[in-house]
Amino acid sequence: MATIIFGGAFDPPHREHVRLLKAAVEELNAERAVIVPTYFPPHKSQGVLPFDARAELCRAAFCGEVGAEIIIDETERERGRDNYTCLVLPELKKKYGDVVYLIGGDSLEYLPTWKKPAEILSVCPLAVAGREGFAPVSEVAANITARYGGTVRVLDFVGKEVSSGRIRAEFFLGENSDLVPEAVGRAVRERGFYRDYAETVTKVRDFESAELYEHTRQVVFRAVDLNSAHNLKCDFRKVFLAALLHDNAKQRPSLDGLSVPADSVGTSVLHQFLGAEKAKRDFGVTDDEILNAVRYHTTAKPEMTVFEKLIYTADSTSYDREYEPIPVIRAIADEDFEKGFLSVLEYTYMKLVAKGGAIYPLTEDAVRYYLPDIAGWA
């Protein structure tokens, strides 16, 4: 009987990880499953939890739950670096013998971008499962084997889409998550994992009304979801903090001697500039990427970074905004991040034009830069 190799960041392991592995054990008649937490994932920014903590959560998630012996393997930590699958998988095969490498359908689709995919497929068969709402993986599997050789077995199991980033955001906000096994949630609470920003979250809640804080929560979730869905590769911690702090001055308009553009005082955009300054003073933020994302999240500006666009788009398409046409724009951003950003900018500008009155210069500049065909309508 085969041994399943199941690798991932597992930051944290969630219910769909468990469901997928259990289904694979049953379909492949496997006697054991080797969980391989990544050390420094080549395709992702460094994880939130250290290796030992994630290994502990993997034991809580998988042991006794999938119908096979569970081994938590430390090969990646022992190697320390260059942990590409094409290098790690041969070592695991040598250690465990007859192995099958289990991956999700999204990973199979990105396999051509991995280092030496043909070598990966030459080591052992792959087992792959699809996800609800995505195209069947059988065609992708056929294309992969035609291009690189090897064997890809498509499992009958079809999983649900779950964002580990969303779960981390819930934990960072001090909330529980229904998306992880009870044993994982209990370990997170008891061990104090994902509590890095507890003091910051408490401060934000003190500064914001219940209604505004709910908006902040939804911007956090929206930002991490967009970052994950479009593989924007923005640092998770920075995304979380920028989204959490984006409106920190919304209900604290006092200048307190802080420096902001004079033409923003008394306008609806003051809070973005003041928010950046108060993020520095009150929360100790020194990272320019975070501060600039807060500083321009309402007006936009020319030549925005991907990170700045992310916070800007997440704010305007946050899940608490249900008035038209936001659900339509949100769907556009779900499909194509850049088009979503441009749709937000166009909608914001045209709404300001319709209202009449002055439009803040940075917004005018942004429209001239990104949407020259509609610039000057005001």
Question: In terms of domains, do 145 and 206 share one?
Answer: no
Structure confidence at residue 2 (pLDDT): 87
How is residue 60 written in tokens? Answer: 């809580």
User: Residue type for 378, please?
Assistant: A
Distance of CA 59 to the CA centre of its chain: 23
CATH code (residue 281): 1.10.3210.10
Tens of pLDDT, residue by residue over 182-239, are 999 999 999 999 999 999 999 999 999 999 999 999 999 999 999 999 989 999 999 9
pLDDT band at 105 (very low <50, low <70, confident <90, very high): confident
pLDDT of 138 above 70? yes
Q: Same domain, yes or no, for 330 and 267?
A: yes
Q: How confident is the model at residue 47 (pLDDT cuts 50, 70, 90)?
A: low
- 24 and 113 housed in the same domain: yes
* Residue 191, in any domain of the structure: no
Q: Does 246 fall in a domain?
A: yes
- The pLDDT score that the predictor gives to residue 376 is 60
Between residues 377 and 80, which one has the greater pLDDT?
A: 80
Q: What is the pLDDT of residue 40?
A: 64
Range of the domain at 154: 3-164
User: Both 319 and 217 in a single domain?
Assistant: yes
Residue type, 374: I
**Residue 148 belongs to domain with CATH number:** 3.40.50.620
How much is the mean pLDDT over the chain?
94
Average pLDDT over residues 318-330: 97
- pLDDT reading at 17 higher than 80: yes
Contact 218, 319 (CB under 8 A): yes
Task: Give the model's pLDDT for residue 318.
Answer: 98
The answer to whether the beta carbons of residues 265 and 214 sit under 8 Å apart is no
DSSP 8-class letter at 131: E
For residue 357, tell me if it sits in a domain: yes
Q: Which of 179, 188, 199, 217 is nearest to 314 (CA)?
A: 217
Mark whether 316 and 225 lie in a shared domain. Answer: yes
Does some domain include residue 175?
Answer: no
Q: What is the mean pLDDT of residues 121-147?
A: 92
Could you tell me if 158 and 40 lie in one domain?
yes
Q: Is residue 188, in this structure, part of any structural domain at all?
A: no
Q: 278: how many CB neighbours lie within 10 A of its CB?
A: 22
In the chain, how many domains are there? 2
| In the predicted structure, residue 378 carries a pLDDT above the cut 70 | no
Query: Residue 37 falls within a domain, yes or no?
Result: yes
Query: What is the model's pTM?
Result: 0.92
Bond preceding residue 125 cis, omega within 30 of 0: no
Asked if residues 244 and 204 have their Cβ atoms less than 8 Å apart, the reply is yes
Looking at 142, 164, 186, the residue that finishes a domain is 164
On whether residue 60 sits in a domain, the answer given is yes
